[in-house]
Every structure is written in C-alpha cells, then in structure tokens.
Amino acid sequence: MRSGQSLVGKSLCMLIYQQHHSSSCECPLCSKSFGAASAVAQHVESGACHNVSRHQVTAAVKSLEIIPSITISRRLEWPVDGQFTIIRSFATQGAFNGFGYVCSICTKSFRTLGSLEMHLNSPAHDHGQFECPKCKKEVKLVSGLIQHIESESCGIAKFKEVRDIAGILMNSFSRRLMIGPRVDRRR
C-alpha cells in the first residue's frame, strides 16, 4: 500500500459521510464548500488553495493507481527530489501587433498584455492528460474529466455517484499532495 493511501483512514470516512449527507462538496485542503466535485477540482487546480499548481494536481492524480485508467500518459511524474519546477511564461510589449497582443503559439489576439499572460500560463496549450474510461474523451485537467462525467453525457455515472467517487479521489490526491512535493502551505 502506498504511503498516501495509508493516510486516508478516518478523514476519508468523514468525507464520504459528508458527501452522502450534504448537497455540497468540501475541499480536502482548506474545507471550503462547493456545489460540485468539479468545482473543488477547479479550485485546487487554479492555485487558489495552498498555491498548489494544476501540474501538481495532475501528477498527484496520475500517481494514484486508478482502475480503470483515466490517464493518457505518464509524461508528468513526481520529481525525484519532490520539488516541481513550473515554468511561467511572461508576455512583453513585443507581442503587440498594433491591434492586440498576439500569442506566439496559437496567434490568438488579446486586448491586454495581462490577458495574453494569463492565456500563456493557462492549460490552453497543454496536451490531454486524462480520458474518460467509457467514451475515451480526452481532457487536459482532472476537473475537466470530472465535469465530463458529471454531465452524464456518456452515461458512465450519475451526478451523485460522481460526487461520491470524486470525493474519494480528491481526498486521496490531496493526501498525495501533502506528502509528495513540498508545498508551501502558508497564506
């Protein structure tokens, strides 16, 4: 048993109980409540919770041995030293073409330099990391996979089942985040 899985215990039982007796989902890292499991995943992936990056969430979920598999590749692994190097892109005035700020990757134009920078640091140019085990739809983020399943579009699960399973998954990957990379938890 992985060390991350051995820590689930009592908090996992509490999370399952809370999700069966409540219409909201709670972030396992900060206890903030959300209306759907995908919203919790988006909250964590956005960096709003303990400065955890979407790359760390992807690596943590990929490190779990989920059956059936939901991962497309093992390109993003835990670094040997536990430290992630996240490359942040910065846009410059040189991106301005007289009408807007243009992305050098996809040529999409933005009204402000800040908007271009947000685009460059978003998952817009990331490759698919996850896929639905039923219909094989590819998504870039775990929150996208949870949203796809919550939508019931391919019939893999009902919304309530998604909330229950996602709660178990989020608790497991949050434990992995806490013992995997050293994340600065100060606010």
Q: Whole-model pTM?
A: 0.68
Are residues 87 and 116 both part of a single domain?
Answer: yes
Are residues 99 and 170 both part of a single domain?
Answer: no
3-state DSSP of the chain: CCHHHHCCHHHHHHHHHHHHCCCCEECCCCCCEECCHHHHHHHHHCCCCCCCCHHHHHHHHHHCCCCCCCECCCCCCCCCCCCCCCCCCCCCHHHECCCCEECCCCCCEECCHHHHHHHHCCHHHCCCCEECCCCCCEECCHHHHHHHHHCCCCCCCCHHHHHHHHHHHHHHHHHHHHHCCCCCCCC
Which two structure tokens, joined as six digits, stand for 51?
């400065």
Instruction: Find residue 99's DSSP bridge partners.
Output: none
Number of structural domains found in the chain: 2
Cis omega (within 30 of 0) on the bond before 123? no
Task: State which residues form the domain around 167.
Answer: 1-75+134-187
Are residues 114 and 145 both part of a single domain?
Answer: no
Are residues 16 and 30 both part of a single domain?
Answer: yes
Tens digit of each residue's pLDDT, the chain (187 residues): 343 333 233 334 444 444 444 567 888 888 889 888 888 889 988 888 887 888 888 887 777 777 778 877 645 455 555 555 566 778 999 999 999 999 999 999 999 999 999 999 889 998 888 999 899 999 999 899 989 988 889 888 877 777 777 777 777 766 766 644 444 434 3
Are residues 69 and 140 both part of a single domain?
Answer: yes
> Residues of 50-82 as b/e, b for ≥16 C-beta within 10 angstroms?
bebbbbbbbbbbbbbebeeebbbeeebebeeee
Are residues 115 and 157 both part of a single domain?
Answer: no
Instruction: Please provide the distance, in angstroms rounded to a whole number, between the alpha carbons at the two ends of the chain.
Output: 32
